[in-house]
Structure 1
């Protein structure tokens, strides 16, 4: 009975344990079962059997839990393997890995470190709360090199610690200890990501409680690390391949863009050359180049004179342009006005970054420059187009020179006939001029240039090209180059010839000019005046200077054939005479009194019977009308001579009027009327 009862009781106890095991009850339920058995006063044998059953059930539960955990880990590894087959980039892949590791081992923190392109350890992905990396303080580099990560990399296997701060295997590193303490981390795990013999990086896990990692957990995380290493290597290769493909696409795009631009440059150059071959002039070429470059273009000769332009270039720094011109001719390529070729200086403003000077050269000969102000900064291809445009301008100038040389004898003969005294067949001369595109009824000036040394041949060739370019005529007489040019300003024409010819020859050139003239008959007279002007320059020690009759002042009046007294008076004191006539003032009489009194305002005031302040105010007004330098010796002499001529002309006019009045017949007497 007792034995049967014992057997029956033991079976009930075992059944209760099995029921708890089947329910996967927590450990606390088993403890409660043992506590009730003790309270019921079970025998020692039954209590021992029950404890043994609970112990076996607990072992079975732990085995089942481990198997379940292993199965879950294998499932997680399978899921991870599937995830890693997806086309992740490297950062996305690493985020998947740390997320799986954190969930697989129930970690508080998980992260991965890899080496960057410079060999530095960089935190690539993290899961859980973790302070930002501070490479300057040694985190995460110190953890990888000298901490638990360094040991795992050396062993090639996972390394863990139950409590990092208490583990004596690791040297105390301030950066790591501070991180661990501030984050409250205790247990640490480091697993190398190995691909063959290479350690690609390290997978870390950490808990904020002390913890021992089992062999099963280490096996799972090791397998995860192996999968991650393979996937990381492939992701890196994929990223590298993508980067190379992207770079190839960029190279291809740049090549296509460059090819398109080169094709455009070739077409633009062809248009300019076709324009030249079709007879286009410098203005047409400048416009075509400006359209191609989206820029304003100015073509200048070696003397800096504008030959053609597509519009004014505002704010042009002439000093910078002159320097850039020298650099451009020295380097034989376009130069930015702001600095060296292709490199604008920081102080050069936006306009300096867009203003270029390109040399116009033929062999070693300087034919001028192209000044270009672009709407946007020019690229390397644009710079090449600018070079081609400059070459096209040089080609056109050489063509014009060749044409001028070919037509030279005919044009020289025409000017020789115009200078002849008397002219032969004026009607035929006018017809010949029209056939050459020259209208002698329009204003023209005559310039005589005498090179002071050197060979004359180069000057003659230049003169032929210059005359053709300016739609004028050229000849050589008495060792001097004679140019008949359209225009009204003889002085400007003389300076332009001197400014271009003297630098070309490299020695002084004396230039005299006269004009304007308005008919073929005036050419001979202008030539004589220009020669006298040239002789006057030599006599006055002005060798190498350029001047016209107007520039010589009263000497020009004496040397000219027409003795233009009215013109001289107008140029010297015309504004004062006009002011007196319009406002009925006495500025002219004040000037005469001022010079008569030895340039003394006080004595002039006494002679005029006015206050000295009145004379001073009148002299200030005269200075405003004649210019600030009217009392300089040269201008004073002309003013005094003009006053004397004006006074003499007035006296002669009054005398003629009196003479006419004296010779007029007396009026007949009035008829007598009869007295009423």
Structure 2
């Protein structure tokens, strides 16, 4: 209470200043009026001042609430959470039964309820109405704040029957709201509603408008933050993809480096196989141009004929060929080549994925390079060996010293003895030479020379060569001669080996290997006697028979050859000659008449057989 001894006017002003209860101010004001301290006009002025102060304090309180609301909303970055916080805070500030936000769909020219607080029915939560109809549609159309004391009975509202039913079902009577307007764009509306009639004051309308403005800012910020988060998330995803791509590129670069290293590896095919295993596990085979395995994980899961056919299909199509083994397991085959040439292939277990096919194709490029390098190396080696053989077989006066360096590359040292192998077969000399190079693997020198394949080795490998060619279905005969050293004597050794080969063919020793020493007297004579000496030996022993055959067209010489070759067994000789035994007997009697009765004695028969061998050899040489 104000002191009674105080001035009545001072008491009124103190009550006004103290922000106390309104009853205290009115009581002091009445007391001052009774004491005639204030005129009626002054009293009315003080009442208006008090009312303004009350409104100011209320506005200050509302602003404080809005500031707190703003602070709370700033902390929320999720768009839907932001909307929920706005409707909840608006409902709480006005003490309303419900509050909700609608958002505009301009494509459909509608507004729809998006977020609610206090709404009981599902139908009300899902209201969607044309812009301009109802309080919601009117506010969302941008005509400013609006309210309805009694929604259903308000004639100023454009009613929609379906919406009115929903409003009645919810029990709504009064509605008030303000538009959500941001930078001239209507986003929707913020509304409160009651299940009883309520006339909203100007301050309450102002509060909803303020909350609406605050909501627009907060929503824009939330959207910006959401967009920023989405952008950051997209950036993170992009960086993740970039990191994955970087890692993939790094792996591919490492893979490419490893492939390039294969070309200079001591074991390029083994290295390539290892790299492929590291990329996709086991079950891998590297193939040559006809499907034979160059290197792989055990035996081929398919026959070479089937692989060769599949390799042809893959080469023609350009695609990875999918096969199946006997157990039904999937296999993938890639053909590799260059300039329409097949160079080989890669066979792997399983069906190749896109990534696996990419690995196969890059590995296939390296396999092609390796195969081309092999071809180039092989061609260079063939050329070097051919030049070396021609150089080594020249007479000593024409020998090139540089040939010694080349010979050392193939394991032939100047002071070592050398065996010259001359090989004859029904196949071409080039094919035979290629087969022998593959068998010898770079040890020794192989080349075509004077119509035959020639092999120079430190050791005698004649029988080995015959067997190696036989495994390739090539019937070969090999004449061998030893040279004491690399320089000077190879030309003579080659002539002796060629003569031995001719002797073997004439003596029907095909499919064997032998030296002149192993052929005995015939071999020695063929390699050491002159042609005149050979003709003299033949004439001394066989001239009468040769002349008889020449004059009469008989076959006494051939009969003698088969007779001695059958150990002088008449029945076997007749069978081999396809003649009657009596015919054979008559021919032998004629031979005895021409050569003398002692022609079957040990001394004469050995000389006659030697002459027969020399005669056949001479005929063979003459035919060549």
With normalisation by structure 1, the TM-score equals 0.46
With normalisation by structure 2, the TM-score equals 0.49
